[in-house]
Homo-oligomer: A and B are copies of this chain.
Amino acid sequence: MKNVLVLMSVEDRHRKKIEAAGEGCRFVYSSPDEVTDREIQEANVIMGQVDATRILASEQLELLQLESAGTDAYIVPGVLNSKTILTNATGAYNQAVAEHAFALTMMLIKKLHLYRDDQRNALWNDRGTVSSLADSTVAVVGLGDIGQHYASLVKAMGAYVIGVKRRASDPPECVDELIMTSDLDRVFPRADVIMSILPNTAATRYIYKPESFERMKDSAVFINCGRGNAVASDVLYQALKEKQIACAGIDVTEIEPLPADSPLWDLENLVITPHISGGHHLPATFERIVEICAYNLSAWLNGRPLKNEVDFTTGYKK
| C-alpha gap A263/B258 in the complex (Å) | 33
Residues A115 and B156 in contact, CB atoms below 8 Å apart: no
Of A50-58, A179-187, A276-284, A308-316, the stretch lying at the interface with chain B is A276-284
Question: Copies per complex?
Answer: 2
Most buried by B among A124, A132, A266: A124
Q: Which residues of chain B come closer than 8 Å to A127, judged between CB atoms?
A: 276
| Cβ contact of A116, chosen from B116, B133, B282, cutoff 8 A | B116
Residues A274 and B107 in contact, CB atoms below 8 Å apart: no
Residues B265 and A119 in contact, CB atoms below 8 Å apart: yes
Name which residue of chain B comes closest to A119, CB basis.
B272
Residues B130 and A281 in contact, CB atoms below 8 Å apart: yes
A82 contacts partner chain B, Cβ-Cβ < 8 Å: no
| Cβ contact of A124, chosen from B96, B134, B258, cutoff 8 A | B258
Question: Measured between C-beta atoms, what is the minimum distance from A216 to chain B in Å?
Answer: 20
Q: Say whether, besides A106-B102, A107-B107, A273-B115, A283 and B129 are in contact (CB < 8 Å).
A: yes
Residues B260 and A122 in contact, CB atoms below 8 Å apart: yes
| C-alpha gap A276/B119 in the complex (Å) | 14
Q: Say whether, besides A100-B110, A106-B102, A124 and B281 are in contact (CB < 8 Å).
A: no
Q: Say whether, besides A119-B272, A258-B124, A135 and B284 are in contact (CB < 8 Å).
A: yes
Question: Measured between C-beta atoms, what is the minimum distance from A287 to chain B in Å?
Answer: 11
Q: Which residues of chain B come closer than 8 Å to A276, judged between CB atoms?
A: 115, 126-127
| C-alpha gap A104/B111 in the complex (Å) | 10
Question: Measured between C-beta atoms, what is the minimum distance from A67 to chain B in Å?
Answer: 16
A9 contacts partner chain B, Cβ-Cβ < 8 Å: no
- Residues from 160 to 209 in A contacting B, C-beta threshold 8 Å: none
Residues A282 and B131 in contact, CB atoms below 8 Å apart: yes
Q: Which residues of chain B come closer than 8 Å to A274, judged between CB atoms?
A: 115, 118, 124-126
Name which residue of chain B comes closest to A129, CB basis.
B281
15 contacts between A and B (CB under 8 A): A96-B130, A99-B110, A99-B133, A106-B106, A112-B112, A115-B272, A116-B117, A116-B271, A119-B271, A120-B265, A124-B274, A126-B276, A128-B281, A130-B281, A153-B157
The 10 closest A-B pairs by CB, nearest first: A124-B257, A156-B156, A103-B106, A103-B110, A124-B274, A122-B265, A115-B273, A116-B116, A122-B260, A119-B272
